[in-house]
Amino acid sequence: MDAIYATPFIPGVARGPLARESEPSPEALVMVTFDQLSRFRGSAAGLIVIGTAPLSHPMLRLSVLEVPTVIVTPDQADRLRSGDVYVVDGTHGIVVDARQWERGAGRELSQDAPEAGRPLATRDGTLVELRASITGVEGARQARRSGATAIGIVRSEYFMPADGTRPDADFFRDRFTALCQAADGLQVTVRSIDLAPDKVPEWLPSIHGMRGLLGLRGARLYDTEPVRSVFLDQARAAGELVADCDIRLMLPYLVQMEEYRRWLADIRGVAPEILPVGVMAETPAAALAVDEWLQQCDFVSLGCNDLMQCLFGADREIPELADLLDPYAPVLFRFLRHVAAIAGHRVGELQVCGLLSRVPRILPVLLGLGFRRFSLEPHLIPVLARTVRATDLDTAEALANAVCAETDAGAVRTMLGLRGAGAWREDEETARSGGTARVGAGRRA
């Protein structure tokens, strides 16, 4: 069987017999559809996902497992036979027969973790921060091992009691304390509880208006009990720790400055003023007001997953719309260039969150637009650290300008050395070589 060049999703290499979702095994490569993925609770050496919405929450939750994962098309899946032994390379997006792998059909590039707590330097000396997005205490430990500059996001909605009861201030105090201890000196940014229709805890009753991507979610629920009490308990717990820990609180899904002032007043009622409070801009309206957020807030992050679905008008949880959420669309980068221009000389302070920075060949484009802080899963940091070190900013700026000047995503993929059809999918030559993007004739980023 010829090697399959698929969509890389979670880096690493795994080997094992191919199994279906109904037959998971810690030694097997398990192949699942997107619908099966939503209920997949088994273990696997590696995962092969057939057709998916890459920005969806089920795929985001996969990142926590650190299981090498690729995304294949149905046609590619038909070429794989249950019981045969394959190797999955989630770094480069390769599925290959194990015997071919042993003959050199594909290989993982070794990655050295950077020093934790320190920014990286590009080839020309520009400093870049690769921060960690985590869901728990083990994630903080992994962040240190992987060389994270800081903990950029703690997704606190996944910090819930095992018995399904509503968490209180004591619960969050214990969890945040353990987080800070595991981070061992790294700055920790806790995103306050960020609930959505697909992230509903057991203790939350049905709430009218909590539906769809434009309904009640994130901070929009902070007026509604019992979410309000949980939000205030998180702020109270963080406030009790801030004198001894480098901890911050970030408010999700804000659109208007009035929202920030309102929730900040509530936070100040239970936590001291020394607790830094920032925002996550996840809609076009919020992103286009980034200069105001930078002036009024302690820090600002761009939430690219939700930002993209708002920008393209496509729900990221629906696989049939995945092609509309194209991370290579020139309009996306023109929008981000405009946001960077609004931020001006403070663009480097913005933290870019979500999957966009880990999409193949995209990080140099974002660097070329002026962004310098990125938050991603800890195990991705050594992989992208290599990209940062190899990037020259002059070339990256030329690349970003060229991407913004294109008219369709296929042309952008071609420019970056990727296949023209199929989002996130590398062609055979570049997947084999780990080649870099080209800007015009002979220019590389």
pLDDT value for 325: 85
Amino acid at 159: F
- CATH code for the part of the protein at 4-102: 3.50.30.10
Task: Say how many C-beta atoms besides its own lie within 10 A of residue 75's C-beta.
Answer: 9
Q: Could you read off the pLDDT of 308-359 as tens digits, one per residue? A: 999 999 887 777 777 788 899 999 999 999 999 999 999 999 999 998 998 8
Amino acid at 53: A
| CATH number assigned to the domain with residue range 120-433, chosen from the 4 options 1.10.1380.10, 1.20.58.190, 3.20.20.60, 2.115.10.20 | 3.20.20.60
Residue 438, pLDDT > 50, answer no
User: With pLDDT > 90 as the criterion, what percentage of the chain qualifies?
Assistant: 60
What is the distance between the alpha carbons of residues 426 and 432, in angstroms, rounded to a whole number?
A: 9
Q: In which band, very low, low, confident or very high, does the pLDDT at 442 lie, cut at 50, 70 and 90?
A: very low
Per-residue pLDDT, averaged over 42-61, amounts to 78
Per-residue pLDDT, averaged over 286-300, amounts to 98
Residue 51, pLDDT > 60, answer yes
- Residue 116 near residue 148, CB atoms below 8 Å: yes
- Residue 14 near residue 281, CB atoms below 8 Å: no
Per-residue pLDDT, averaged over 101-110, amounts to 57
Instruction: Write down the mean pLDDT value for the chain.
Output: 87
| Residues contacting 59, CB < 8 A, separation 6+ | 9, 37, 49, 52, 53
Residue 139, pLDDT > 70, answer yes
User: pLDDT higher for 132 or 429?
Assistant: 132
pLDDT value for 1: 66
User: pLDDT higher for 259 or 9?
Assistant: 259
Domain ranges of the chain: 4-102, 120-433
Find tokens 């992994």 and name the residue.
142
Residue 15, pLDDT > 70, answer yes
Output the pTM of the full model: 0.80
Find tokens 């149905």 and name the residue.
74
